[in-house]
Amino acid sequence: MDTVHIGEAIKQKMQERSMSAAALAAAVHCSRTNIYALFKRKSIDTELLCRISKVLDYDFLSYYTCWDDAHRCLIIVVIEVEEQQLKALIADDVVRLVQRLSK
């Protein structure tokens, strides 16, 4: 599967929006130098990616996907849960795994 170069995708969307690197940097609270460095990166911190997504009004998080080899289909995973819900989901999965292993 080809992966998306997120830095290049951000640069392209920034240019489509006619926004300068300096303006993007100011909007996401980092330096212009960091924005230029970001364009060369294949991955970035999700918090920064969320801020950039809001500023550029584009969902860059949708680029991150999982590949299901059994069905050979692309699955887009976008899950938003509160911290407590996430902890409960993890705990439930651990319990199910222990039950399966003990059979």
What single string gives the DSSP state of each residue in 29-66?
TS-HHHHHHHTT-S---HHHHHHHHHHHT--GGGG-EE
In 3D space, the residue among 67, 7, 61 whose CA is nearest the CA of residue 34 turns out to be 7
Q: For every one of its 103 residues, what pLDDT tens digit does the chain have, with 9 covering 90 and above?
A: 456 788 999 999 999 999 999 999 999 999 999 999 999 998 888 888 889 999 999 888 776 654 444 444 444 434 444 555 656 666 666 666 666 666 6
Which CATH superfamily hosts domain 1-103? lambda repressor-like DNA-binding domains (1.10.260.40)
pTM of the shown model: 0.60
Which tokens go with 21? 């690197």
> Residues 21, 26, 27, 31: is their CA dihedral positive or negative?
positive
Q: Where are the domains of the chain?
A: 1-103
Phi/psi at 66 (nearest 5 deg)? -115, 150
